[in-house]
Amino acid sequence: MNLTEKARQMLARNLPLEDALPTKMPAYVNSAAYLFGAATLAALALLIVTGGILTIFGPGWHHVSDVGRFVDALHFWSAQAFFASLAAHMATKFFQAAWRHNRWKTWVLGLLTFGVAVFAGLTGYLSQTNFDSQWASVQAKDVMNSVGLGAFFNTMNLGQVITLHVAVLPAVIVLLVGLHLFFVRRDGPVLPIGERDEQAH
């Protein structure tokens, strides 16, 4: 068995370039509601770039440098933009019942991404090394401990918190988003409600 051959066939079958990078779209894709997914991706890209710069210069940089403080502000507002876009994206996909026509995997992957993103947001607060993180760390520890996670994740261990925030959780988010986009492009945008309803599930 040639694994490369198999992978090539799988991609050709599921995600040819015409689907991955489309130059035409169904006429019903004609609403601003379709832009929230792209906005979430854009905010995620900004989060990764600004977070990457903050990581290179270290966790204390934004306290002592004007440039660092500005990059920290960019990262902060990118996070706000990310969750605002994501909330709007999830709401519109709910109102579209976008899981119809066997698109439940896309829905599930999107929700899992939101769940991991919330945890990434928490570790972001804990990484700020200011009073917000000082207070959040002792408050959040009770929540983690209550469900037994305190044995594995200590909110007051900055080394663990930052590693999760800058490496592990972004990697998981990028992986989930990658899978989400694979199914989005493979299956195409779901038909409007009322179209082929007999195949809706």
Partner 1 sequence: MSKRTDEYLSGVPMKPYDLLREILIVLAIIAVIVIVLASVLGSPDYPTVRAQDVANLQPIAYLQTGATILAGNSSIQHYGPPYTEDRNNAQHLFRQAPANWFGVSIPLDPAQDFILKPLARVSVLNGNVTGALEAYQAASTDQQQAWLSAYMAALDNATVIDGQVQIPSGDYGPVPTLMDSMLALGKAGLLEGALDSNVRQPFEYDFTQSLLFFQDDVDGSVAEQLDMSSDQWGVMHETGNYPGAWWLFPYAFLYHVPPMNNSSNADIQAIFIILMVFLFLLFLPVVPIFNRLPRWLRVYKLIWRDWYSRKKSGGSGDP
| Range 125-144, binding partner 1 (CB under 8 A) | 125, 128-132, 134-135, 137-139, 142-143
Name the one residue in this structure whose structure tokens are 């290179």. 56
What distance in Å separates the CA atoms of residue 198 and residue 44, rounded to the nearest whole number?
37
Positions in 1-40 near partner 1 (CB under 8 A): 13-16, 18-19, 21-31, 33, 35, 38-39
**178 is a site residue for partner 1 (CB under 8 A):** no
Residues 6+ apart with CB under 8 A from 94: none
Q: Is 100 left (phi over 0), alpha (psi -120 to 50) or beta?
A: beta
Task: Count the neighbouring beta carbons within 10 Å of the beta carbon of residue 94.
Answer: 11
**Smaller CB distance to partner 1: residue 72 or 170?**
72
**158 is a site residue for partner 1 (CB under 8 A):** yes
Positions in 94-123 near partner 1 (CB under 8 A): 94-97, 99-101, 104, 107-108, 111-112, 115, 118, 121-122
72 neighbors 54 (Cβ within 8 angstroms)? yes
CB of 28 to partner 1, least distance (A): 4
